Amino acid sequence: MMPERMEETQVGVEEIKMSGGYVLSDEILKHKINGSAFDHVYPHTASNSLNNLDIFTKGQPFDLYEELREKAPVYFHNPMPTDPEPGYWVLTKYEDIKYVSMNPKIFSSQYASGNLLTLGTEENRHPKLFKSTIDHMLNLDGEMHLGLRKEHMPFFKAGHVDELRQKVSLKVTELLDAIAPKGECNLVQEVSQQLPIFTLSEILGIPESDRQKLVSWMEFLELAQYFTYEMIKEQNEGKTDSTPDPAMIDMFNAMVDEMFEYGRFILKEKRKNPANDLLSAIANAEINGEKLSDEFLDGSWLLIIFAGNDTTRNTMSGGIKLLHENQEQKEMLINDLELLPNFINETVRCVSPVIHMRRTSLEETEINGQKIGPYEKIALWYGAANRDPSVFEDPNKFNILRDNADKHLAFGIGRHTCIGKPIALMQLQEFYSQFLVRFQDFEMNGDWKVAPNNFVHAIQEMPIKYSPEN
């Protein structure tokens, strides 16, 4: 059985490389994800489920990560309720995640897609969001991935980042000027949400008049998992107090329609009248001599909005919370801003804004003593890897002097390392370098709020107070 399945996999990949204008999501739906073909080397029953979105509203479940790292570092996790797929492998150790990331010929990004770690049943798939979460650059392998990545690269090189830095610095000043007299604010809504949207829009070439739309879309996208999850629970258990209001669902669907309509409109405009911006590059990119399909344009648009905004925003907010909780570190940093680059890396390590990514095995293989068959799904839990004590001493301690803070995997590693990493680090540098000078006495001013999402650490509210500027 296994050699046959592997042969089909290889043929499938080859066909994709030779064809142009295909729809990746259609290809994925043709391929079945398998259950575990081999006995489990780590037969552990976890104390909680990584499918339980509620546990992510308090931050990431680092205790659960530790439990799995110690007792079952390669752990076969149950699927979501009603999901036709059999489940997925959970990796929590740094070296295992690095190994998988560095071997794309064995561990495919191309077949590892789907919301909530799985594809879900057909009736639970959002008609527009489902395909767009699959049809984009992150989920491509080999030459097709490299080809699209090459189209993006000019907008993330050092020269372009330096030019952008000047605009970002001015925007940070403008945002901080707006909150300065108040003495308190919701940092997410008033600053950390606004800066990445500005930066992203500058790279993309989105008119200033349309930029606030991206903020609203982002807020709803972070709740997409929750809506799906709660609707599945309602089917299984009956209506509960947490079941989303139908009006909220209608609002969510209207937002999705608006987002994709705008995306298609502006990408088609960029095809007709290209400019020196990333949207023009995407709109006019080709795979094997053919322009991207509408499905790929939708997917690229969704990826840009989500990936280009969410991670930076949450690291900005998360770093402020970490400094509030570690006053001695805060004082050390304020007294020596030369520590800022290492502080940023340590913040990214501790926050781990992207919680997991997925891969699919293309052949019989082995990870940390566990044999894995072809077409089995694997989830890489970055928040767990970034607190692995075999790599990071005293990993749960926030330490801005940590000598290997830059070894975190929060941006991924290997071919799929986040292309926006230089832009993200630049924004964090500009924000903190100004904020920590102007608001040295800041502190939390109430509870933070985190969206129920196990894909990104989505901080939605961060109330802070500080001495107002006259």
Higher pLDDT, 230 or 446: 446
Read out DSSP for 283-311?
A: HT-EETTEEPPHHHHHHHHHHHHHHTTHH
94: pLDDT strictly greater than 90:
yes
Count of CA atoms in the C-beta half-sphere (13 A) of 233: 16
CATH of the domain at 230: 1.10.630.10
Range of weakest confidence among 143-147, 322-326, 378-382, 438-442: 143-147
Question: Hunting for tokens 């403008």 — which residue is that?
Answer: 174
* Mean pLDDT for all residues in the chain: 85
pTM: 0.87
What is the pLDDT confidence band of residue 386, given thresholds at 50, 70 and 90?
very high
| Cα distance between residue 95 and residue 385, in whole Å | 8
Range of weakest confidence among 58-62, 181-185, 264-268, 363-367: 264-268
> Residue 287 — φ and ψ, nearest 5°?
-115, 115
Q: What is the pLDDT of residues 9-50, one digit of tens each?
A: 333 343 344 344 567 777 777 778 899 999 999 989 999 999
420: exposed, middle or buried (Cβ count in 10 Å: 0-12, 13-18, 19+): buried
Closest CA to 434 of 340, 332, 318, 326: 340
Number of domains in the chain: 1
Q: Domain range for residue 249?
A: 2-465
Closest CA to 90 of 296, 337, 378: 378
Structure tokens at 363: 């052949």
Q: What is the pLDDT of residues 281-296, one digit of tens each?
A: 888 887 777 787 788 7
Under 8 Å between Cβ of 340 and 333: yes
DSSP state, residue 128? T
90: pLDDT strictly greater than 70:
yes
Range of weakest confidence among 199-208, 241-250, 347-356: 241-250
Dihedral sign of CA atoms 184, 189, 193, 194 in order = negative
Q: Quick one: how many helices (H) and strands (E) in the chain?
A: 19, 14
Q: What is the pLDDT of residues 303-343, one digit of tens each?
A: 777 776 778 889 999 999 999 999 999 999 999 999 999 99
C-beta atoms surrounding 28 within 10 Å: 20
- Within 8 A by CB and 6+ apart from 400, the residues are 329, 332, 333, 339, 342, 343, 346
| Cα distance between residue 302 and residue 323, in whole Å | 32
pLDDT at 287: 72
**What percent of the chain is predicted at pLDDT more than 90?**
49
Read out DSSP for 227-288?
A: HHHHHHHHHHH---TTSPPHHHHHHHHHHHHHHHHHHHHHHHHHHHS--SSHHHHHHT-EET
Under 8 Å between Cβ of 339 and 367: no
pLDDT at 332: 98
Structure tokens at 222: 């972070």
- Mapped onto helix, strand or coil, the DSSP state of residue 460 is strand
pLDDT at 123: 66
The answer as to whether 470 is a domain residue is no
What is the pLDDT confidence band of residue 368, given thresholds at 50, 70 and 90?
very high
Amino acid found at 66: E
Average pLDDT over residues 373-388: 96
Dihedral sign of CA atoms 461, 462, 464, 468 in order = negative
Beta strand 463-465 pairing with 443-444 = antiparallel
What is the pLDDT confidence band of residue 61, given thresholds at 50, 70 and 90?
very high
pLDDT at 112: 59
Beta strand 377-381 pairing with 88-91 = parallel
What is the pLDDT confidence band of residue 131, given thresholds at 50, 70 and 90?
confident
Structure tokens at 109: 């990004």
Range of weakest confidence among 219-223, 284-288, 309-313, 428-432: 219-223
Reading phi first (left if > 0) and then psi (alpha if -120 to 50, else beta), residue 355 is in: alpha
Buried b (16+ CB within 10 A) or exposed e, 225-251: bbbbbbbbbeeeeeeeeebbeeeeeee
What is the pLDDT confidence band of residue 234, given thresholds at 50, 70 and 90?
low
Higher pLDDT, 299 or 245: 299
Higher pLDDT, 208 or 381: 381
Beta strand 88-91 pairing with 290-291 = unpaired
